[in-house]
């Protein structure tokens, strides 16, 4: 596996300056990974893209010397791994596949609604989709979400994201008698994109409940001010994987009012651990009857109603097992291998 991580000085200046400049091999869960960091130049998208692809091509040549020529290339998102995979695939005469998980919201954030900042990037990504042997979106809905940018004139087979179902395993919750109902919201502190403004208003009408919020930049002054009148709200800040699981085990339901998502991993993780989810977004590929309560984006009254409904729900462990049968690592891996076989 090759992993070239682009660093931006404006994202984390301290790490940008301290991060190593070499390339190295490391083993992670039995997989050999060849890694490096690319220190990007500020505000110059195209030179960074071209340099990133050159570095990945160089890393591929070193990989090939060590392991030989691969049978297929599998890029995890088109920007820019898919572009580099296409270049290598055409050079080597081997098929390449792209798993896509980036939603339209990210592209709008990077390039503007009309791609005014870099229409060359839209054209490059569109051509890469069309040349791929198969695109593997994490949900069928993602294809429609990206269609205004890239169309649908490419081969695709949706396959869900993988959930570590052994780690996020089912566990019964504490009895609810004598304590508040515990909601949790696991989403970064993007107030509009993640719908925190809607959630803050909805919480004002929920009695005998507390809300636990966790994620990057969720414990900021702006977030605390937003939820100041929303009742009992606890801010946990950014959590690691164990922290996320511990919070899920502590709570009775997940709530996510997001306005733009492709497929939200934490929704599936929550249901696998044994709690229902009130959410604005859900992939049809992982929908199972029972644990998902869907609401319209931006609708405070609908969100509040669903949150009140979930308080009276009893979770059925069979819901967790039904979802596990769709997102467990062995299930998803088998589906991806089937896609490779149809190259």
Note the pLDDT tens digit of each residue in 53-70.
999 999 999 999 999 999
Q: How confident is the model at residue 112 (pLDDT cuts 50, 70, 90)?
A: confident
User: Cβ atoms within 10 A of the Cβ of 17, count?
Assistant: 10
Angle at 54 between CA 67 and CA 128, to 5 degrees: 90
Q: Which of 59-63, 172-176, 178-182, 230-234 has the lowest mean pLDDT?
A: 172-176
Task: Give the model's pLDDT for residue 12.
Answer: 85
Is residue 104's pLDDT more than 80?
A: yes
Is residue 24's pLDDT more than 90?
A: yes
Q: Which of 53-67, 111-125, 259-273 has the lowest mean pLDDT?
A: 259-273
Task: Give the model's pLDDT for residue 262.
Answer: 61
Q: How confident is the model at residue 95 (pLDDT cuts 50, 70, 90)?
A: very high
Each domain of the chain, given as residue ranges in start order, spans 2-162+333-341, 181-325
Task: Give the model's pLDDT for residue 245.
Answer: 97
Q: How confident is the model at residue 128 (pLDDT cuts 50, 70, 90)?
A: very high
Phi, psi of 255 (to 5 degrees): -135, 130
Q: How confident is the model at residue 176 (pLDDT cuts 50, 70, 90)?
A: confident
Is residue 203's pLDDT more than 70?
A: yes
Beta pairing partners, 211:
183, 233
- What 3-state class would DSSP assign to 96? strand
181-325 homologous superfamily: Glycogen Phosphorylase B; (3.40.50.2000)
131 by Cβ neighbours in 10 Å (0-12 / 13-18 / 19+) ranks as middle
Task: Give the model's pLDDT for residue 343.
Answer: 62
Q: How confident is the model at residue 287 (pLDDT cuts 50, 70, 90)?
A: confident
Task: Give the model's pLDDT for residue 113.
Answer: 84
What does the DSSP 8-state code read for residue 156? B
Burial 174-202 (b: 16+ CB within 10 A, else e): eeeeeebbbbbbbbebbbebbbbbbbbbb
- What 3-state class would DSSP assign to 88? helix
User: Cβ atoms within 10 A of the Cβ of 64, count?
Assistant: 13
Please provide the CATH number assigned to the domain covering 2-162+333-341.
3.40.50.2000
Q: What is the mean pLDDT of residues 242-259?
A: 95
User: pTM of the full predicted structure?
Assistant: 0.87
Q: Which residues contact 173 (CB under 8 A, 6 or more apart)?
A: 249, 251, 252, 274, 275, 315
| Both tokens assigned to 118 | 């870099």
- For the chain, give the mean pLDDT: 93
Is residue 284's pLDDT more than 80?
A: no
Strands 277-279 and 292-294: parallel
| Both tokens assigned to 177 | 């008698």
Q: Which residues contact 162 (CB under 8 A, 6 or more apart)?
A: 327, 328, 329, 332, 333
| Both tokens assigned to 22 | 């070499």
Is residue 232's pLDDT more than 90?
A: yes
CA atoms of 21 and 38, how far apart (whole Å): 8
Task: Give the model's pLDDT for residue 263.
Answer: 63
Q: What is the mean pLDDT of residues 124-137?
A: 97
In 3D, which of 134, 161, 155, 158 has the Cα closest to residue 340?
Answer: 134
88 by Cβ neighbours in 10 Å (0-12 / 13-18 / 19+) ranks as buried
Q: What is the mean pLDDT of residues 298-321?
A: 94
Q: CB of 283 within 8 A of CB of 141?
A: yes
CA atoms of 118 and 112, how far apart (whole Å): 9
């Amino acid at each position: 596996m090759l992993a070239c991580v682009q660093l931006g000085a404006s994202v984390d200046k301290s790490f940008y300056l301290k991060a190593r400049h070499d390339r190295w091999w490391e083993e992670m869960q039995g997989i050999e990974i060849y890694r490096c960091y690319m220190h990007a130049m500020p505000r110059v998208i195209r030179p960074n893209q071209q340099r990133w692809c050159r570095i990945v091509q160089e890393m591929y040549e070193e990989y090939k010397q060590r392991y030989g020529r691969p049978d297929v290339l599998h890029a995890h998102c088109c920007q820019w791994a898919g572009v580099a995979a296409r270049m290598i695939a055409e050079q080597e005469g081997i098929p390449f596949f792209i798993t896509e998980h980036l939603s339209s919201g990210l592209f709008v954030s990077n390039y503007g609604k009309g791609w005014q900042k870099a229409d060359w990037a839209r054209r490059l990504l569109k051509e890469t989709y069309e040349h791929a042997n198969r695109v593997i979106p994490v949900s069928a809905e993602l294809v429609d979400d990206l269609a205004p940018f890239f169309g649908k004139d490419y081969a695709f087979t949706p396959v869900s994201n993988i959930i570590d179902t052994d780690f996020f395993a089912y566990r019964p919750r504490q009895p609810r008698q004598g304590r508040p109902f515990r909601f949790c919201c696991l989403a970064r502190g993007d107030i509009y994109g993640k719908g925190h403004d809607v959630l803050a208003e909805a919480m004002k009408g929920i009695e005998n409940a507390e809300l636990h919020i966790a994620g990057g930049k969720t414990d900021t002054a702006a977030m605390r001010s937003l939820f100041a009148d929303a009742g009992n709200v606890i801010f946990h800040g950014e959590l690691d994987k164990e922290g996320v699981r511990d919070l899920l085990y502590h709570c009775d339901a997940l709530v996510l009012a997001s306005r733009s998502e492709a497929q939200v991993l934490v929704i599936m993780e929550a249901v696998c651990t044994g709690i229902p989810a009130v959410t604005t977004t859900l992939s049809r590929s992982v929908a199972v009857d029972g644990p998902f309560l869907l609401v319209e984006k931006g609708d405070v009254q609908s969100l509040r109603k669903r949150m009140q409904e979930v308080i009276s729900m009893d979770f059925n462990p069979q819901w967790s097992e039904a979802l596990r049968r769709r997102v467990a690592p062995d299930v998803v891996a088998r589906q991806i291998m089937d896609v490779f076989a149809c190259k």
